Structure 1
Amino acid sequence: MEISSFVLLLTLAAALFQLLPPAAARQNYSGLSSLNCAASDELAPSPAFLYTCNGLNRSCQSFLIFRSTLDYSSPAEIAELTSSDAAKIAEFNAIADDPSSGFELGKDVIVPVTCSCSGDGERYYRANTSFTVTRAAGTYYVASTVLFDGLATCAAIRRGNPIPDRELKPGMKIQVPLRCACPSADGLYYLHNFTKPAYVHQDIKTSNVLLNSDLRAKITNFSLARSAAAARDTNVTVHLVGTRGYMAPEYVETGEITPKIDVYAFGVVLLELITGKEAVLVARNGKETLLSTTVVSLAEKGGLEEALTSYVDANMGETGVEMALPLFRLSLACLRRESETRPNMEEVVSSLVKILTDLRRLRSFGDDSSTDRSVIPLRRGSRNENDWSVETASW
């Protein structure tokens, strides 16, 4: 499988967080316009500034990807630069056990920030931070391109500070609006975190995911959706609804309804995307088995790579299997039998962002060595990469 094809697969996986009907789309970000310090948005919103507000969510937690440098290599240093939380940075990047150890040079670091639609007449989303001017970063252009590595645009920084470039001096503090965006209507993540009350879809499956002409996936069919609060009040349901092959064990066995049953179903959908097989496998003799059960069992017995190799297209080759492995680990994490050990959708989103960023960089540079294929660990536990079925430090 070519890198571009695998990036498409990941894009489809990430797009499963979107809902029907489609809402205002996020504005595409232009790398070239971000370098234009003299850009104007008098006639219309410009990508030279920030992402435009879509009117749905005025504030949310968002994620940025910061590449560590010599000066900013620890959670504390990166948190200070981005006005984030050092403990959360350490947790999301799986170094909570030793946050002082820092990251290797050039490591992509997930940074959670509070993103809001404020300032600039509420036209753009932003995560506010500031930094002190140094000799090395003494202009708005250098600050945006070198210090913040494109997380802020030159025009946006320049607008937010009344001091002209030529008058900047070391020691001055300038305000920096980091570019971010809130969900326009991002499916499961949106349902679980941004609706009031939160909802459980209850019937996530491939046939409930529709693609438009631009291959943007939308979740549909909310006939079984249920308020998470109502589900907690009733605790269990006596009548099971949903689709065989996608239902979580705790739901089948006890009728328990929580957002984690959607996470489980999403794990099955990921497996279908990776393997090209349906959720229910039918043998020649007519016997049916669940794809999730079969793959999980194989992974437990022979390891992740063997299970993946057995169930993916042979045309992918060795490189394709290596690229699919992080996504496979994520799928298996979603399929953990104990619901409390599964990631939540916020953690799934952060993992997909990291995987997709790595693969896009690999596609751009064509160099395997430049890409960190690790998946974001969520919980403390075993360092054995095959030990995904319990709380692990590696998926």
Structure 2
Amino acid sequence: MQTSASNPHQPEEVNNHVHSTYSFSPYSPTQITEAAVEAGLKTVGLMDHDAIAGGPEFLTAARSNGIAATVGCEIRVHLNGTPLEGKRVNNPDEPNIIYIAFHGIPANQFEATDQFLKPIRAARLKRSQAETEKLNAWLQQRHGPTLDFATDIQPCSRIQEGGTITERHICFALAKKLIQQHGNGEALTTFLNEHLGLSPSKKIAHQLHEESNPHRIYDLLGFLKAELVPHFFIPSGTDECPSARDAAAFARSIHAIPAYAYLGDVSESPTGDKRAQTFEDSFLDQLINTLKELGFQAITYMPPRNTHKQLQRLQQLCHHHGLMEISGVDINSSRQSFNCPILLDPAFQHLCDAAWALIAHEKCAAQNETLGLFHPENPLIDQSLETRVQHYATIGRNMNPHQPENIKELL
């Protein structure tokens, strides 16, 4: 493969982890591309839970809006039979189940991906219905409003169009009812405290009291996600969470890049949906060793969420084990900014390069699977991962986002 010379890098921001209305988000796939352009991003990535249905709309909108785009999906997998079985890793809700991402899914593999995800969505739908019943019983004991799954929760989703329903949808539907019944401010926080036994922090209380707050329902959702979910959560089964090894193998079979989603010990969540809690940092070396053995090819992480010390350690382990580093800020609330200024720091230039490499990988693999970044027959496979990423990043940057199919001219 040949690449044309690229211009010296200009400061750029990218985001490979934006959720759409096909999982949970205020943004449709088209609106994501519009918001990304408005924010000045150079690339943007769709990342829905258990769903790929937004991919075609997203890529069409990205082409129209002239922004480079990549498509992935996020799923949960189990660790049965691994050295990490039973550990709480990167999932606040339950041990032994971890979040992973399929990055850079070629467009010609969307149908195969959807077939893989369909039974996962079906199992999750049944569990979400059972969780709603459990929540209603809890709410009735406290004289709270109850939810009808068909009329309150499903309309918040795109379940009929290949989307999914998660605990966020349940919390969103409840947040909507609570605001309708109690309005804003004191009446709402009093009900939360005195009837539901949920005490908002000063920060959350201020947000709920703020008269002109356009994000109120998402602020309340984040609070409910952190504080209420433990009261109605039902553990996932293996029908909803395949094994980590099988999921990684499937991702590789469709020429996507299986990535572990690093969380790190949390002090405060940007959206208020996670409590301060310890996760994988105390056994990170063992985790990375296990992930490599299971067939994972990358680690995805969110720089604003972690400390410099956490990131430095993670980057060293990725380099040692030959794992690609991919960044993204988990966008699922209107309060969150699409921008990630930390990526303007030269220390994170490699994450911008990785975003462009993902895009080139995705477009190239759709035309010829052997051109996938990790394919064993890739012409550059004998070169280092860093060299391959740089090579593909150059291709991605030189691609015309209005005509991404013409990337073959750069090969």
Bin for the TM-score computed over the shorter chain: under 0.3
Higher helix fraction (1 or 2): 2
User: TM-score, length-normalised on structure 1?
Assistant: 0.27
User: TM-score, length-normalised on structure 2?
Assistant: 0.26
Task: For CA contacts below 8 A with separation 6 or more, give which structure has more relative contact order.
Answer: 2
